[in-house]
């Protein structure tokens, strides 16, 4: 059992929307451009340079194949439409909810991993792109704002709630040369869209494994059809793959917008008692999110929930119509209870 005791009215998988949740985000709202004039100028110069580069090195839209843009205007509008209304989605992740309907870890997603959103995110994770990063970061910012909206984060007296990204694996980093989630969070921060009262904190890292564990991991990767990828794995296989893979850092550097948040720009010596939101790119079974929560709680943190850029929809999951809000009064249960 996960050491959370969420409010039943907010977390009932079939329940009504919370009475005081944030105002739904209007479809089509897009605020991905930086607020500062100098940053807007840099964005304009970058766009002009990209137009010039398109004449020399032609590119196609990653979603529809239209020429000259990595994401054409039509597909960009589709991405915004898919991510305009972040929603609660833990009932699409088997590892986050029990068969009885009890929520183990509440989750908010910007939108479903399909159509233009999935194609844009997949292309960004493979190759990176400033155009795709701007669009995806805006979607992630909407999900962060929705998740933080009803939890009273802006008035936190404990130094702010920590937004903790799930780190990429060492193999994935070597293959891509960058951490996609870190790039998106950096863009969210640059655009001034870190929610008030929250701080971006790189509090998790892949756990160092001994020689036997590394050898066992290599053998599992060789034996699995995906060669180490989690695609195609079932719930129990994914949980076994990620179990014990993450650990909390001893000292954590936190970053925010710098406005009325005491710890912005400082190093936090301990996660004891700190409230955290786990941040991930794609939510599938929820096994990675549960592992991230376990690692943070082992260091004494209190995990409020998960925020994801996209989720893989389950066709047989109950449709949740509530806004993307997390419980305002998440508390620990007795340490001896549960699984």
Model confidence pLDDT, tens digit, residues 98-126: 888 899 999 999 999 999 999 999 999 99
Strands lying side by side in the sheet with 275-283: 87-88, 107-109, 302-311, 275-283, 161-165, 198-201, 252-255, 267-268
Mean pLDDT of the 273-298 span? 95
Residue 331 has pLDDT above 70, yes or no: no
Averaged pLDDT for residues 219-224: 60
Between 32-46, 110-124, 169-183, the lowest mean confidence (pLDDT) is in 32-46
Q: What DSSP state is assigned to residue 185? A: H
Within a 13 Å sphere around the CA of 116, how many CA atoms are in the beta-carbon half?
22
User: CA-to-CA distance for 229 and 241, rounded, in angstroms?
Assistant: 10
Categorize the per-residue pLDDT at 338 as very low, low, confident or very high, splitting at 50, 70 and 90. very low
* Residue 30 pLDDT class (50, 70, 90 cuts): very low
252-255 and 198-201 strand pairing: antiparallel
Share of the chain above pLDDT 70, in %: 63
What distance, in Å, lies between the first and last C-alpha atoms of the chain? 4
| Distance between CA atoms of residues 167 and 180, nearest Å | 9
Q: Give the pLDDT confidence score for residue 106 in this predicted structure.
A: 95
**What distance in Å separates the CA atoms of residue 166 and residue 110, rounded to the nearest whole number?**
16
Structural tokens at position 285: 């079974």
Per-residue model confidence (pLDDT) at position 7: 39
Helices (H), 128-284: 130-149, 170-176, 180-190, 211-223, 235-242
Q: Smallest Cα–Cα separation from 328: which of 16, 21, 2, 15?
A: 21
Work out the pLDDT band at 209, boundaries 50, 70, 90.
low
The alpha carbon of 73 is separated from its chain's Cα centroid by a whole number of angstroms, namely 25
Q: Which of 58-62, 88-92, 213-217 has the lowest mean pLDDT?
A: 213-217
- Beta bridge partners of residue 60, listed in sequence order: 67
DSSP state of 308: E
Q: What is the pLDDT of residue 223?
A: 60
The residues, ordered by sequence, that sit 6+ positions from 76 with a Cβ below 8 Å of its Cβ are: 135
Question: Residue 90 has what DSSP assignment?
Answer: G
Least confident segment among 91-105, 211-225, 268-282: 211-225
Please answer whether residues 282 and 311 qualify as being in contact, where contact means their C-beta atoms are separated by less than 8 angstroms: yes
Range among 41-50, 203-212, 312-321 with highest mean pLDDT value: 203-212
Predicted structure pTM score: 0.72
| pLDDT higher than threshold 90 for residue 294 | yes
Using CB atoms within 10 Å of the CB of residue 326, give its burial: 0 to 12 exposed, 13 to 18 middle, 19+ buried. Answer: buried
Residue 144 or 39, more confident: 144
Rounded mean pLDDT of the chain?
Answer: 76
- Which of 88-97, 172-181, 245-254, 329-338 shows the lowest per-residue confidence on average (mean pLDDT)? 329-338
- Quote the Cα angle for 280-221-231, to 5°: 45
């Amino acid at each position: 059992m996960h050491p959370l005791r969420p409010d039943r009215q907010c977390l009932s998988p079939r329940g009504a929307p919370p009475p005081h949740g944030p105002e739904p985000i209007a479809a089509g709202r897009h605020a991905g451009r930086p607020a500062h004039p100098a940053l807007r100028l840099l964005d304009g110069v970058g766009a002009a340079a990209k137009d010039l580069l398109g004449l020399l090195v032609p590119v196609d839209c990653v979603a529809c194949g239209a020429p000259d843009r990595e994401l054409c205007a039509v597909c960009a509008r589709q991405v915004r439409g898919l991510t305009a209304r972040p929603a609660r989605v833990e009932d699409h992740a088997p590892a986050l909810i029990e068969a009885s309907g009890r929520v183990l870890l509440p989750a908010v997603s910007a939108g479903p991993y399909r159509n233009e959103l999935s194609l844009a995110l997949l292309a960004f994770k493979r190759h990176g792109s400033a155009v795709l990063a701007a669009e995806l970061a805006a979607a992630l910012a909407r999900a962060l704002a929705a998740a933080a909206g009803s939890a009273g984060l802006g008035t936190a007296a404990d130094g702010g709630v920590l937004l903790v990204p799930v780190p990429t694996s060492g193999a994935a980093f070597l293959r891509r040369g960058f951490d996609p989630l870190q790039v998106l969070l950096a863009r969210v921060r640059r655009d001034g869209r870190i929610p008030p009262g929250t701080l971006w904190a790189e509090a998790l890292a892949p756990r160092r494994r001994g020689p036997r564990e590394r050898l066992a991991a290599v053998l599992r990767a060789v034996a699995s059809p995906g060669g180490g990828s989690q695609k195609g794995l079932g719930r129990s296989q994914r949980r076994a793959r990620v179990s014990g893979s993450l650990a909390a850092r001893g000292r954590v550097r936190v970053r925010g917008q710098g406005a009325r948040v005491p710890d912005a720009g400082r190093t936090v010596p301990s996660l004891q008692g700190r409230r955290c939101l786990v941040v991930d790119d794609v939510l599938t079974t929820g096994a990675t999110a549960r592992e991230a929560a376990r690692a943070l709680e082992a260091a004494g943190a209190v995990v409020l929930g998960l925020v994801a850029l996209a989720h893989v929809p389950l066709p047989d999951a109950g449709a949740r119509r509530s806004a993307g809000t997390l419980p305002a009064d998440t508390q620990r249960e007795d340490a001896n209870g549960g699984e």
